[in-house]
Structure 1
């Protein structure tokens, strides 16, 4: 039970340091990491060093920092303002238009890419500045985008889905084909809920439609800013090369999995930065010294985001080395209660594991046991597997360790700690409830 106690101490220490003592989230995550590694006893230094080294090699760490730099450079050019003018011309008259667009765009991209951090980066790089321009606070903008990150898990055919249904324990209970329709329906339920949450956010936070005086006619905004639409190329090119007919053709031609060779999380910020440097060249520095000053101005944001995300991944690795997956699996296998209590307990445990781990790692660790537990209580196997995937889809909205939180906060220039409470209230707990209702048959799939 050491790892379970370490997980509880980790979350508690972060909440106390950040919320009670009012310290910044970077410090809180470092304190949490030290608390976790303290549970390793005499192996403290070994576990700490290995975990930090592994965390610094995570591609999402690079992506979060790269997006901070890209968004900072982008803010020094008129490119994004022109793109936002076009979007406002089309949807600015709708109250909360950027919020709804962010959620629908997140669903569309998640159904293709399935990678939470990539969904956050691709959608957030466009919609977060738009939401901020429309009066949405930076923290709420980051919350909306990070809250959509897990939708990739709730739509077929994510890698997380295949990890679960391909495991020995689950493949004996059902075939992979049996989950496709239930999971698509569950993903639709989750999307519908997020649109309802958007409606509540728009009303509760007083988000208004744009002032008509600030809206340009569509023809004029497109004529002035059509080159800004080329920013979408930074998203479209990596997606086209790795997914769909183009991706399959390249896989066949090269003989390798292009999706593994070309990382969406890595290449989207690279292409975005290159395009910004080209399109905004007239507004950007011309001499190296000026570039050094420009990039140096982004250092404070990079510091907080970088330290926070490295500490989050390091703590995840430390918890894994302490045996968290095995201990939670053992705890889950001993549950014996009425179905509604069992479903809640299974959901809470899956969500708890998804706090420090990714959805895929969560499914590999305790997914089969979670499905078997629900099946043993009378839930059909495809429904049980669908519910467990819905539980795991909270990975993007589960503070304090979810990578999408820090990617979105980096783009928005927001304190990640200020997203924790709304993420739990608007996304994490309601998605947990949806998974429970699916288990009970109250939400048909």
Structure 2
């Protein structure tokens, strides 16, 4: 495990190579820790596992959905709605940025693209309304982290492959738990917005749509039907509707149990996007060759990373990492709470130089095994782990979202290091600890 972590960090930070390459090498090397003779069999077994792993399909489907969304006008319609609803409030552009970042987080799951997209719409608006360059850059960078703070981020699929998660936590459970922790993060951002509003004595801005809410909804409200792609699968897998259908008969119960949230959610969303704006999406490409050229780079990194990480995680499970971790912890005799704090602080620190996916790949699998080994719940610790790894967007010095935000606001990056740590990294680590111990509840 030490070799696995060292390889990821050295490859990504020291050699500055692609994290996918490190994951590929790990997938090949790890099986041979079970012995030279057993190595090939473990490697083949891990590949068979990945090729039959439905979560891999779901993760690739979300990447397709994100790509189509970027080439559609659906997000533009949502922006018009947010602008009309929040644009004239005190701190209106900040609420628009936060709302748009949350929606993008639920759709695409990328921190830096999230900051770039939401910041492009709201950076100048924030500055004109009275936010300082440092305050605006801090908010945009922090909101970029919502890309990994809401499902379906790539980290969600990585965590689902952890040995101490797979088989103990369902895809739907972790999806809903991460969504709830994302809402906790949004609430904290509202606290920050209110702080800046009162500190700077901000007044409502005159920017935004002059149309009535009814007119805006008539023009752009159809775009909100995209959320049906999430609402329908969730309703069919948990809650009152699920309970009512299951109670009808054994056949209904079997049918409802076969509905996989992570499979149907992106599938329905892709269908809705194509129905809403399929003609425009087709016009974005000159032909199939152009589509493939633009799509392959979009899917290669994340898709390759997830494939190799799932295979490596399966190998780690077969090598008995969980039992080894428990044995080491028994010898150390640390307090569970101290262990929790140490693991989550380590995750936040590693998220500085690494992306959230690399952080989860490097230390997440071991950290989660440690926490489960000392008695914490696999679901809450996994949700909190994802929550804390999302601080990548606000973690100096190597956050892509940070530099995008500073570029959009013409702010000197070092000036927002301390505000980001004090207002977002540290509080989110605290919130993660509260989620893990059950003080902040998740379903």
**TM-score interval for Structure 1 and Structure 2 normalised by the shorter chain:** 0.5 to 0.7
Instruction: Flag structure 2 segments of 5+ consecutive residues without an equivalent.
Output: 124-136, 157-164, 170-176, 197-201, 348-358, 404-416
Instruction: Structure 1: give runs of 5+ residues left out of the alignment.
Output: 1-5, 107-118, 153-159, 165-183, 372-384, 409-415
1 CA distance for matches of 2:18 and 2:435?
A: 38
Matching residue within 79, 84, 91 for 1:89: 84
**What residue in structure 2 maps to residue 266 of structure 1?**
263
Residue correspondence of structure 1 range 183-202 to structure 2 within 5 A: 195-196=187-188
1:48 aligned onto 2:43: yes
C-alpha change, 1:75 and 1:251, in structure 2 (3 Å) is same
Partner of 1:228: 223
Q: How does 1:155-170 map to 2 (within 5 A)?
A: none
Q: How has the CA–CA distance of structure 1 residues 319 and 286 changed in structure 2, closer, same or farther, with 3 Å as cutoff? A: same
Q: Distance in 2 between matches of 1:38 and 1:72?
A: 37
Is 2:4 aligned against 1:10?
A: yes
1:344 aligns with one of 325, 334, 338: 338
Structure 1 residue 389 displacement after superposition: 6.0
Aligned positions of 1:269-418 closer than 5 A: 269-285=266-282, 290-291=287-288, 293-337=290-334, 339=335, 343-348=337-342, 355=360, 369-371=373-375, 385=376, 390-397=380-387, 418=400
1:280 CA displacement: 1.2
The 1:147–1:56 alpha-carbon spacing in structure 2 relative to 1, beyond 3 Å, is: same
Structure 1 pair 49/222, CA: closer, same or farther in 2 (3 Å)?
Answer: same
Residue 146 of structure 2 is aligned to residue 144 of structure 1: yes
Q: CA RMSD in A?
A: 5.2
TM superposition shift of 1:52: 2.8
Relative to 1, partners in 2 of residues 1:329 and 1:23: Cα closer, same or farther, differing over 3 Å? same
Query: Is 1:57 equivalent to 2:52 in the alignment?
Result: yes
Q: What do residues 130-159 of structure 1 show as CA deviations (whole Å, max 9, x unaligned)?
A: 566445899866632323559x9xxxxxxx
Q: d(CA) in 2 for partners of 1:138 and 1:86?
A: 20
| Structure 1 residues 350 and 85: alpha-carbon distance in aligned structure 2, compared to 1, 3 A threshold | closer
Report the TM-score when normalising by structure 2.
0.62
Q: How many residues align?
A: 361
Alignment of 1:110-129 (within 5 A): 121=106, 124=109, 128=114
Q: Is the 8 A contact 1:123 1:145 kept in 2?
A: yes
Q: Report the alpha carbon displacement of residue 290 of structure 1 after superposing the two structures with TM.
A: 3.0
Is 2:56–2:307's contact at 8 Å kept on the other side of the alignment? yes
Instruction: State the alpha-carbon separation in 2 of the partners of residues 279 and 212 from structure 1.
Output: 31
Please state how far the C-alpha of 1:417 moved relative to its aligned partner: 8.6
Q: Cα deviation per residue 1:75-117 (whole Å; 9 max; x = unaligned)?
A: 33322211221122213452432564479x79xxxxxxxxxxx
Match of 1:246 among 238, 241, 247: 241
Q: Secondary structure at the match of 2:145?
A: helix
